[in-house]
Amino acid sequence: MTDRRSAGVGGSILGIFDPDQRTTNKKGASLFTAFPLLAIPFAIYNVLAITFAIGGDPNAAYHAMTDIWFSLPMPAGAHWAISVGDVILFISLICLFFELLKSTNSDNVAIANHSLSMLLFIICLVEFLLLRNWSTSTFFLLMCMTLMDVVAGFIVTAISARKDIDFGGGGH
């Protein structure tokens, strides 16, 4: 029993791969697994957008997200230009991957995660529609990822709940 738990420590920290999670949930792990990981790139974008908004340039966030941060030489002879927005989107994709893995749980912590993800999406939508420095393609794609997280989470939870009902109620 301890070998199985020690083998899945990394996964159980994220709230995945732990078959005994429903019975062994601890408050610290619950708070971490309920936290939507897409809030990390969201916070990074917000800090950058607020920082660049202080300068007074109405297009500062757009320029900050699209200006080339560094470039990498490619074997074909071209240079791959990478901007801050590209890095934020890469971080967002990694977070979205782990959010989709976390959405396979159908316990109370997963429901809290879905609710917080919905709140994050609503905040993203309001910022995108109403604030100038948040009306960029980078933030739009980040907002779309939060929407995908919300939709995928609710769909996976509904399907697994339906399977629990189908398997639990039949067979008498």
Inside any domain, residue 98? yes
Inside any domain, residue 1? no
Inside any domain, residue 3? no
Inside any domain, residue 22? no
Inside any domain, residue 2? no
Inside any domain, residue 61? no
pLDDT (tens digit per residue) in 55-91: 777 778 888 888 899 999 999 989 999 999 999 999 9
**pLDDT grade, residue 21 (50/70/90)?**
very low
**pLDDT grade, residue 1 (50/70/90)?**
very low
Inside any domain, residue 141? yes
Whole-number pLDDT of residue 24:
45
Which tops the pLDDT comparison, 161 or 42?
Answer: 42
Inside any domain, residue 131? yes
How many domains are contained in the chain? 1
Structural domain for 49, as ranges: 35-54+76-163
* Helix/strand/coil for 153: helix
Tell me the pLDDT of the chain averaged across its residues.
Answer: 80
Q: What is the DSSP string of 43-73?
A: HHHHHHHHHHHTT--TTHHHHHHHSEEEEEE
Lowest mean pLDDT among 27-36, 49-58, 79-88, 116-125: 27-36
The CA distances from residue 95 to 10, 42, 90, 92, 145, in Å, are 15, 11, 9, 5, 9
Whole-number pLDDT of residue 36:
92
